[in-house]
């Protein structure tokens, strides 16, 4: 059985420009628990109700719990002020396909940023708006939880694909191994203050087209200041769901080589589960992962 954790070095030799960029120092301010990157997983059974109706009040509380857990602050207001400064220009990078970022999550994040002192006119959605993202001093990445038949996983790392200097097809198939390079592009490099994966609903197979039979309500949010750690936890949840559905290991195709590469080649964070502290908060039923 193939192992998606093993990262091929294919194409890296000829990609000298990106290799040089990756060799540079990229400093993310990681939330940590000891020497581990901290990832918060917040779930609430009331987040999505009958008819897939989203409870905005519950989601707001979940977002607040997530940012408090990531920052170590006792109040949501203090947490947002630790992540965002009043003079920041903030870009929200959401997902529009397969499992779109829920409006209720975006609203809660926007409210939190305003509470940090940022005026509404300095907060904007920047997905697919490279020029706007370039003007931002801070980014909040809010992707949906999903797989992708062209890149393996389509959650955290792929969420910045429209900000790359190369066409999206450059990263298809095994070339998804290079997705981490996008996070080193001048448009976004070093700007990400928080990754908040909208895991209220997730897609464990398919993409880029949505196939309802592969979408399930997970009622969760995954938060971290380490994008690779957040992606690693997202992938573990997806893989556990696939196994639960099929009754045996069900590998993703193409293999999501990008996750380990983002760690080993591009130095964006950690993909080693032993170096990730998972803090699970709230509803435990069908959590699919252990802290």
Question: Does the global pTM surpass 0.85?
Answer: yes
CA distances from 146 to 35, 97, 169, 263, 269 (A): 29, 10, 18, 20, 20
pLDDT at position 31 is 63
Q: Domain ranges in the chain?
A: 16-282
| pLDDT above 70: percentage of residues in the chain | 89
Would the pLDDT of 4 be above 80? Answer: no
pLDDT at position 210 is 80
C-alpha 104/C-alpha 110 separation (Å) is 10
CB within 8 A of 108, min separation 6: which ones?
56, 59, 60, 62, 63, 64
Would the pLDDT of 101 be above 50? Answer: yes
Using 50, 70 and 90 to split pLDDT, how confident is the model at 208? confident
Would the pLDDT of 5 be above 90? Answer: no
What would the pLDDT profile of 108-149 be if each residue is shown by its tens digit?
999 999 999 999 999 999 999 999 999 999 999 999 999 999
Would the pLDDT of 10 be above 80? Answer: no
| E-state strands within the chain | 32-33, 36-43, 90-94, 123-125, 138-142, 144-148, 152-153, 192-203, 215-224, 276-282
CATH number of 16-282: 3.40.50
Longest dimension (CA), the chain: 52
Average of per-residue pLDDT across 81-107:
96
Lowest mean pLDDT among 12-21, 59-68, 86-95: 12-21
């Amino acid at each position: 059985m193939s192992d998606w954790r093993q990262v091929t070095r294919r194409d890296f030799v000829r990609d000298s420009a990106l290799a040089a960029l990756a060799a540079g120092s990229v400093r993310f301010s990681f939330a940590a628990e000891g020497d581990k990157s901290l990832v918060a997983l917040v779930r609430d059974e009331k987040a999505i109700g009958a008819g897939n109706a989203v409870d905005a009040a519950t989601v707001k509380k979940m977002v607040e719990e997530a940012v408090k857990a990531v920052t170590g602050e006792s109040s949501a207001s203090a947490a947002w002020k630790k992540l965002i400064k009043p003079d920041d220009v903030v870009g929200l990078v959401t997902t529009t396909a397969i499992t779109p970022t829920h409006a209720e999550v975006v609203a809660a994040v926007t409210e939190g940023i305003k509470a940090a002192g940022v005026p509404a006119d300095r907060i904007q959605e920047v997905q697919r708006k490279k020029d706007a993202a370039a003007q931002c001093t801070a980014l909040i990445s809010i992707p949906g939880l999903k797989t992708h038949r062209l890149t393996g996983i389509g959650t955290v790392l792929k969420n910045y694909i429209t900000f790359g200097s190369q066409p999206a097809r450059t990263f298809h198939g095994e070339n998804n191994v290079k997705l981490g390079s996008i996070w080193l592009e001048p448009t976004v490099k070093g700007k990400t203050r928080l990754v908040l994966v909208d895991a209220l609903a997730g897609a464990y197979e398919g993409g880029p087209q949505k196939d309802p039979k592969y979408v399930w309500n997970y009622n969760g949010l995954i938060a971290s200041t380490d994008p690779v750690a957040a992606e690693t936890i997202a992938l573990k949840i997806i893989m556990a769901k696939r196994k639960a559905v099929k009754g045996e290991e069900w590998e993703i195709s193409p293999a999501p080589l990008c996750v380990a590469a983002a760690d080993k080649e591009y130095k964006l964070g950690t993909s080693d589960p032993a170096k990730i502290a998972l803090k699970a908060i709230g509803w435990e039923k069908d959590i699919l992962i252990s802290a």
